[in-house]
A and B are shown apart, each in its own frame.
Chain A
Amino acid sequence: MKFFKRFFDAQRKHFSQGGRFARLYPFFESMETIFFAPADVTAGGPHVRDSLDVKRFMTLVIMALVPHLVFGIYNAGYQSHLASGLSLNFLPVFLKGVWIVLPLVIVTYAVGFFWEIVFAVVRRHHISEGLFVTCMLFPLTLPPTLPLWQAAVGISFGIVIGKEVFGGTGRNFLNPALTGRAFIFFAYPARMTGDAVWVVISPAKAAAVDAFSGATPLAISALAEKGVGVQAALSQAGYSISKLFVGLYPGSIGDTSTLLSLTGSVFLILLGLASYRIILGGVLGILSAGFVLNLFATQASLPWLALNPFYHLLMGGSAFGLAYMATDPVTAPDMPWSKWIYGFAIGVLTILIRVFNPAFVEGIMLAILFMNLFAPLLDHFEVKAVLSKRVPNV
């Protein structure tokens, strides 16, 4: 630590007033405060402050996401080796996963950090730690085959248009990670959807595995034939409930595991970092929408309608989206009842988009972005209702 201390002290002169890189001070500050919490003291009452700061807040969210990253790395490698007919031993699988996933993560962080520094320097404000969470979330929602330049374009759009043009962290009304993903989802659908993008197949083996289908559960469900039923179609393709729950199947890098999303959301709720209202509201929304659709299901209707609602929770990243994306405090509503409604509406919309619009099976992403837009409105009405109960004091 002494080495770092000396290093930062030696570099400080370049970044402080009059130094060569004075304008890059936000960069220096963000690097230094990773190692050394600032020595700033309170200027007046309250003289003591809570130990929690945004850095720790966001670090804990990242810690909740690390299992997803590790599992995603393993899963990407596993699916790749499975499809290519290679060894399924842990080490080669994991290394393969690292080879697939790490470049996406590194590119995302590099590009995201670049934009954040640009805006921090221009606006003369600090680098907000929310960026690190955004850059962690974004690659976890991508298909492992995505070209790196598309990931760079996606995170650029997410950070710049989803966040910075509105004033940066705290003032954005759309979840930046999802904004970026939605952008590449619509701009480059060929690399974001379909059966071919979810598994990296080694070129040498490509010919040998022609018959392999990398279809995700959502894709299989959407194509289930009438009369067969989604559940049957899923189990035919090898998707049992336990497989869906654990998440070892082709899909986006980090969002396949409902199990990890569940433990992650319990972690975040216990630590008070995510709103249980949003998560439970979302689960309720998904289940109740699924159940209502069950009531309308007949032999002739879409097979989706008859699907056991719990399956909806296990597929298509619903759990991941509810646990980490919907609970982003900045883009979610502030008020308690609004949070319930917001979560519930996300759940319902997810199902409706999935079931009635098979072209956009990624229901959860669109539902969250859509409800992001409505969060201020929900807040507006609840705040108005709360304030009307106050005894006026003017």
Chain B
Amino acid sequence: MTPIRIKKGYDLNVDGRPSDKIEQLPNPAYVAAVPEKIPFVKPRLAVEIGDEVKIGTVLFVDKRNPDIKFLSPGGGKVEQINFGPRRIIREIIIQLESEEASEAFEKVPEQLGHLKRHNLVKILLNGGLWPLIRRLPYRDIADPDEIPPAVFVSLDAGEPFQPPSGIYLADQKEFFAFGIQVLRKLAQDNVYVAARHDSREVPAEYNQWITHFYTGKYPAADPGVLLYHTRTSSDANRCWYISGQDLLLLARLLKTGRYPVERIVALGGSLASDPRHLRTRLGVPLAHLAGDRQQEKNIRYIAGGLLRGYIAAENTFLGYYETSLLLLPEGDQEEVLGFVRPGFNKPSYSRAFLSYFNTAALPMDCNRHGGVRACIACGYCAQVCPVDILPQLTFKAVLADTVEEFLAHGLLDCVECGLCTYVCPSKIELADILVQAKAAYYKEQTA
């Protein structure tokens, strides 16, 4: 099998990579569902403060399609519901009891052969795991009534730092096989599993399911990138995808008949005292995950990855899709004569620093490293864009609101990897502009 060669992209070499160690975390006192961080969803609450819930009780549904349910990550009492501006639901916090009860869901026999597709969809919807399956290019929850052109299983995100497949796939062969069966049923056998060609992140016993190999830097493993490099017609544009770890959850739900709440989470960043992987549960408090950390005045908590993640306060909870927590220095200090230093320790995509010769993982902070300026057409963004968008032109088309033009530029192929913003010397929020435009276009389409 010839690997798919993805030439563009960039691997950040950041200090604070989690070790391969997995530690079992004790149960936290509280867990929470975080509807605010689920893209596009319009939550309608199904519980009130004080309600007793079990693991798997419906907490809220999506107003756009009430069949899509989000279930309780814990058993106990609804302690608090936090609202944000315009009454957006931020968190539904549940106080855990020592003995948690669990809702029972329909179990599925070993072989899916006899089960009708729509029954399977129904079980997944009721089991609260349907939203794990998402649809390109907007990355919204997949439409249960649709049959996709294909489903991509995304094994390794490549973004610093997510649990690698070698960690979460260990001893999960049975569940993985079953999960693939489920997807085959959903997508009428068009299931693609891609693995890196050169390094063996994916354990060897999973080779039988791998349909594509790829080579390339971050975000080569992203389903959007793989789709871009494999599709031959626009019929394939609306593929579905699911992450490898989430696939195991689907299988576990169907096999055990219980809502699975276990997650393996990566804890990384230069301020994490012991960067490692943690076996914990859905909706865990960030402070519980972070444990004791190196003391520094300003720590930024990033949930969900260095490039695509969001800033979370220490007293909040890990969201439905996120499997990583990073602790980084905020970096809100001025630097003396910053722009003329040789920069042996300054990470850069360009060759303008001596760090070009430094292969060590470098510490990074959240400083913007420069003032916002007009685009000077340096072209770095187009050099890193994994799907051949020309961000320096596309963002101007977006700002000028010329819809036809930015669509022709491939705006919808954008995989939201954030590399264009990362490399921009003018510090323009390119990825943000493109992602917002995509979301706005989607909302216009579905309105």
Q: CB within 8 Å of B: which residues of A? A: 1, 29, 33-57, 59-60, 125-126, 128-130, 167-171, 270-273, 329-330, 332, 334, 383, 386-387, 390-394
Contacts and interface: CB of A to CB of B under 8 A. Distances in A.
Contact of A37 (B233, B349, B353, B370): B370
13 contacts: A39-B334, A42-B368, A45-B431, A47-B306, A54-B371, A54-B426, A170-B374, A271-B351, A329-B378, A334-B390, A383-B393, A386-B390, A393-B410
A383 B373 CA distance: 24
A335 B307 CA distance: 27
A59 B339 contact: yes
Given A39-B332, A393-B137, A48 B423 contact: no
Interface string B283-302: 00000000000000000101
Contact of B367 (A35, A36, A39): A39
Given A37-B370, A47-B366, A48-B422, A54 B232 contact: no
Given A51-B353, A394-B412, A45 B307 contact: yes
Contacts of B393: 334, 383
Contacts of B183: none
Contact of B307 (A46, A128, A332): A46
A330 B426 CA distance: 13
B372 interface: yes
Contacts of A168: 374
A130 B376 contact: yes
A40 B422 CA distance: 15
Contacts, number: 215
B413 A393 contact: yes
**Which 8 A/B pairs are nearest by Cβ-Cβ distance?**
A53-B370, A170-B374, A37-B338, A51-B346, A46-B418, A37-B335, A36-B334, A46-B307
Nearest to B422: A46
A229 B333 CA distance: 65
Contacts of B355: 51
A49 B339 contact: no
B408 interface: yes
A1 B336 contact: yes
Contacts of B364: 48
B373 A387 contact: no
A35 B332 contact: no
Of residues A47, A171, A273, A334, which shows the largest number of chain B Cβ atoms within 10 Å of its Cβ? A47
Contacts of A39: 331-334, 367
A205 B331 CA distance: 62
Given A334-B392, A383-B390, A393-B412, A45 B310 contact: yes
B351 A36 contact: no
A128 B352 contact: no
Contact of B370 (A55, A271, A383): A55
Interface string B402-441: 0000011110110000110111111101011000000000
B328 A330 contact: no
Nearest to B331: A41
A334 B392 CA distance: 9
Contacts of B311: 44, 47
Given A47-B311, A50-B425, A391 B231 contact: yes
A170 B352 contact: no
Contacts of B61: none
Contact of B431 (A38, A46, A59, A171): A46
Contacts of A129: 373
A53 B422 contact: no
Interface string B347-382: 111111101000000001111111111111111001
Contact of A38 (B302, B337, B370, B377): B370
A52 B349 contact: yes
A268 B339 CA distance: 17
User: How big is the B interface, by class?
Assistant: 35 or more
B371 A44 contact: no
A21 to B, nearest CB: 19
Contacts of A272: 350-352
Most buried by B among A40, A49, A50, A386: A50
Counting chain B CB atoms within 10 Å of each CB, which of A56, A57, A273 scores highest? A56
Given A48-B306, A393-B137, A40 B368 contact: yes
B340 interface: yes
Contacts of B382: 334
A387 B376 CA distance: 22
A391 B367 CA distance: 38
A168 to B, nearest CB: 6
Between B231, B346, B352, B410, the greatest number of chain A beta carbons within 10 A of the residue's beta carbon is seen for B352
A125 B374 CA distance: 10
B98 interface: no
Contacts of A57: 352, 376, 378, 425
A152 to B, nearest CB: 25
A51 B377 contact: no
Contacts of A167: 374
B234 A393 contact: yes
B407 to A, nearest CB: 5
Looking at A49, A56, A390, A391, the one whose CB has the most chain B CB atoms below 10 A away is A49
Contacts of A386: 388, 390
A33 B425 contact: no
Which residue among B14, B392, B425, B429 has the maximum number of chain A CB atoms within 10 Å of its CB? B425
B308 interface: yes
A273 B393 CA distance: 19
B369 A53 contact: yes
A170 B376 contact: yes
A59 B353 CA distance: 12
A51 B369 contact: yes
A51 B426 contact: no
Contacts of B343: 51
Given A44-B310, A48-B366, A393-B412, A270 B351 contact: yes
Contact of A52 (B330, B337, B348, B431): B348
Contact of B335 (A36, A45, A171, A329): A36
Contacts of A394: 234, 407, 412
Nearest to A331: B377
A387 B397 CA distance: 14
A33 B310 CA distance: 28
Q: Of A46, A57, A391, which is in contact with the most chain B CB atoms at under 10 Å from its CB? A: A46
B237 interface: yes
Contact of A46 (B233, B367, B377, B421): B421
B195 interface: no
Contacts of B409: 387
A55 B369 CA distance: 10
